[in-house]
Amino acid sequence: MKSEIIKISQISPAQSIVCIVGKNEIPLFLSLNKTEKEYALKQLRKKEEIVFINSYFKCTYIVKVKEGASGYKAREELRKAAAGIKKLIKSNNHSELVIASHSTYKGAVEDFTEGLLLSSYTFKKYKTRDEDEVKKNYPAKLLLYGDINKSELKWLTDLTDAVYFVRDLINEPVNHLNATALAVAIEKTGKSAGFRVEVLAKRKIEALKMGGLLAVNKGSVDPPVFCILEWKPAKPVNKQPVVLVGKGIVYDTGGLNIKTGEYMSGMKGDMAGAATVTGVLYTAARNSLPLHVIGLIPATDNRPGGNAYAQGDIITMYSKLTVEVGNTDAEGRLILADAISYASKFKPELIIDIATLTGSAAVTFGTQAIAMMTNAGRKYIKLLEECGNEVYERVSELPFWDEYAEMIKSEVADIRNVGGREAGTITAGKFLEKFATSPLIHLDIAGTEMLKKDDHYRLREGTGSGLRLLVTFLRRLAADYKKLK
Ligand code: BES
Ligand code: MN
Ligand code: ZN
Residues 458-475: b if buried by 16+ CB within 10 A, e if exposed: bbebbbbbbbbbbbbbbb
Euclidean distance between the first and final Cα of the chain, in Å?
A: 42
Percentage of the residues of the chain whose pLDDT score is greater than 70: 99
With a 6 Å cutoff on the Cβ, whether 424 touches ligand 1 is: yes
CA distance 19 to 59: 11
Do residues 444 and 297 both lie within one domain?
A: yes
What average pLDDT score do residues 173-201 get? 98
* Ligand 1 contact via 335 beta carbon (within 6 Å): no
Domain that holds residue 389: 156-484
Q: Pick from 357, 365, 443, 463 the residue to mutate for probing ligand 1's pocket: most ligand atoms within 8 Å of its CB.
A: 357
Q: Is residue 307 very low, low, confident or very high in pLDDT (cuts 50, 70, 90)?
A: very high
Nearest CA to ligand 1 atom 14: 358
With CA atoms as reference, report the closest residue to 110 among 71, 161, 149: 149
Query: Looking at residue 484, what is its pLDDT?
Result: 84
Same domain (yes/no): 193, 73: no
Q: Is residue 250 in contact with ligand 1, taking CB distance under 6 Å?
A: no
Ligand 2 (single-atom ion) residues, CB below 5 Å: 252, 329, 331
What CA–CA distance (Å, rounded) separates 166 from 463? 8
Does residue 133 carry a pLDDT above 80?
A: no
pLDDT (0 to 100) of residue 107:
94
| 137 pLDDT above the threshold of 90 | no
Nearest CA to ligand 1 atom 16: 330
Question: Which band of pLDDT confidence, cut at 50, 70 and 90, is reported for residue 125?
Answer: very high
- Residue 333 annotated among the catalytic residues of the structure: yes
Q: Given 96, 126, 149, which residue is the final one in a domain?
A: 149
Tell me the Ramachandran region of residue 140: left when phi exceeds 0, alpha when psi lies from -120 to 50, beta otherwise. alpha
Regarding whether 57 and 17 lie in a shared domain, the answer is: yes
Which of the four pLDDT bands, split at 50, 70 and 90, describes residue 348? very high
Query: Which candidate in 64, 202, 333, 416 is catalytic?
Result: 333
- Structure confidence at residue 482 as a pLDDT band (50, 70, 90): confident
Residues 396, 372 contacting (CB under 8 angstroms) = yes
Would you say residue 26 has pLDDT above 90?
yes
Residue pair 248/182 in contact (Cβ under 8 Å)? The answer is yes
User: Residue 219: what residue type?
Assistant: G
Task: Report whether pLDDT(132) > 70.
Answer: no
Task: Establish whether residue 252 lines the binding site of ligand 1, counting it when its CB lies within 6 angstroms of any ligand atom.
Answer: yes
**Measured distance CA(469)–CA(247) in Å, rounded:** 17
117-127 mean pLDDT: 95
**Looking at ligand 1, which residue's alpha carbon is closest to its atom 17?**
330
CB 63 within 8 A of CB 50: yes
Taking a C-beta distance cutoff of 8 angstroms, is the pair 289, 474 a contact?
yes
| Same-domain status, 85 and 179 | no
Task: Determine the pLDDT at residue 90.
Answer: 95
The reply to whether ligand 1 has any atom less than 6 angstroms from the CB of 328 is no
Mean pLDDT value of segment 271-296: 98
Strand order in the sheet with 415-416: 314-316, 322-324, 415-416
Residues 6 or more apart whose CB falls under 8 angstroms from that of 299 comprise 179, 182, 183, 224, 225, 226, 227, 248, 249, 250, 271, 274, 335
**Are 206 and 251 contained in the same domain?**
yes
Same domain, 311 and 347: yes
Ligand nearest to the CA of 264: 1
Tens of pLDDT, residue by residue over 89-111, are 999 999 999 999 999 999 999 99
Q: Nearest to residue 16, comparing CAs of 101, 116, 97, 89?
A: 97
Which of 149, 180, 214 finishes a domain?
149
Do both 140 and 240 map to the same domain?
Answer: no
Burial of residue 17 (number of CB atoms within 10 Å: 0-12, 13-18, 19+) = buried
Question: How does the average pLDDT of the chain come out, rounded?
Answer: 96
Task: Assess whether the C-beta atom of 367 lies below 6 angstroms from ligand 1.
Answer: no
Q: How far apart are CA 73 and CA 70, in angstroms?
A: 6
Stretch 56-71: mean pLDDT: 91
Percent pLDDT > 90 in the chain is 94
Nearest atom in ligand 1 to 270's CA: 1
Residue type, 475: R
- Mutational pocket test of ligand 1: of 260, 302, 358, 418, the residue with most ligand atoms within 8 Å of the beta carbon: 358
259 catalytic per annotation:
yes
Residue 199 pLDDT exceeds 80:
yes
What would the mean pLDDT of 376-382 be, rounded to a whole number?
Answer: 96
Q: How confident is the model at residue 67 (pLDDT cuts 50, 70, 90)?
A: confident
- 277-302: average pLDDT: 98
Rounded Cα–Cα distance for residues 67 and 104 (Å): 11
How confident is the model at residue 1, as a pLDDT?
85
The model's confidence at residue 135, banded by pLDDT at 50, 70 and 90, is low
Q: What is the pLDDT of residue 157?
A: 97
d(CA 349, CA 369): 26
Measured CA to CA, the distance from residue 354 to residue 193 in angstroms comes to: 21
pLDDT at 32: 97
Q: Dihedral sign, CA of 188, 191, 195, 200?
A: positive
Using 50, 70 and 90 to split pLDDT, how confident is the model at 485?
Answer: confident
Q: In sequence order, what DSSP letters do the residues of 301-345 get, joined into one string?
A: EE---TT---TT-EEE-TTS-EEE-S-TT--HHHHHHHHHHHHGG
Q: pLDDT value at position 69?
A: 79
What H or E segment, with its residue span, contains residue 407? none
Q: Do residues 229 and 272 both lie within one domain? A: yes
What does the pLDDT look like over 233-267, one tens digit per residue? Answer: 999 999 999 999 999 999 999 999 999 999 999 99
CATH of the domain at 50: 3.40.220.10
The verdict on the CB of residue 59 being under 6 Å from ligand 1 is: no
Final residue before a domain boundary, out of 120, 149, 178: 149
Q: Are residue 354 and residue 460 in the same domain, yes or no?
A: yes
* pLDDT of 358 strictly over 70: yes
Give the Cα separation of 259 and 267 in Å (integer). 10
Domain containing residue 463: CATH number: 3.40.630.10
Q: Are residues 259 and 329 located together in one domain of the fold?
A: yes
Atom 13 of ligand 1, residue of closest alpha carbon: 329
| Number of compact structural domains in the chain | 2
- How many CB atoms sit inside 10 A of residue 202's CB? 19
Alpha carbons within 13 A on the beta-carbon side of 144: 25
Q: Are strands 350-355 and 242-246 parallel, antiparallel or unpaired?
A: parallel
Do residue 429 and residue 298 come from a single domain? yes
Residue 467 has pLDDT above 80, yes or no: yes
Which helix (H) or strand (E) covers residue 212, if one does? helix 211-217
Helix (H) or strand (E) holding 266: none
Mean per-residue pLDDT for 372-382? 97
pLDDT by residue (tens digit) across 268-279?
Answer: 999 999 999 999
Closest CA to 72 of 474, 385, 471: 385
Same domain? For 24 and 41 the reply is yes
- Bridge partners of 299, per DSSP, are 225, 248
For the purposes of burial, counting CB atoms within 10 Å of the CB of 327, is it exposed (0-12), middle (13-18) or buried (19 or more)?
Answer: middle
Report pTM. Answer: 0.97
